[in-house]
Amino acid sequence: MSLSPAQKKAFRSTGHHLNPVVMVSENGISEGVLAELDRALTDHELIKIKLALPERDDRRAMLEELVAASGAELVQTIGKMALLYRRNPQVNPKLSNVKRFEGHHGRH
Share of the chain above pLDDT 90, in %: 83
- CATH number reported for the structural domain that contains residue 81 in this entry: 3.30.110.60
The confidence score (pLDDT) of residue 76 equals: 96
Please, what is the average pLDDT of the chain?
90
The more confidently predicted of residues 40 and 2 is 40
Q: Does residue 107 lie in a domain region?
A: no
Report pTM.
Answer: 0.89
Q: Does residue 48 lie in a domain region?
A: yes
**Number of independent structural domains in the chain:** 1
Q: Does residue 108 lie in a domain region?
A: no
Q: 20 - beta bridge partners?
A: 48
Q: Does residue 63 lie in a domain region?
A: yes
Q: Does residue 34 lie in a domain region?
A: yes
Sheet of strand 46-51: strand arrangement: 20-24, 46-51, 81-85, 73-78
The confidence score (pLDDT) of residue 106 equals: 44
Decide if pLDDT at 60 tops 80.
yes
For residue 17, what are the domain limits?
5-101
The confidence score (pLDDT) of residue 100 equals: 72
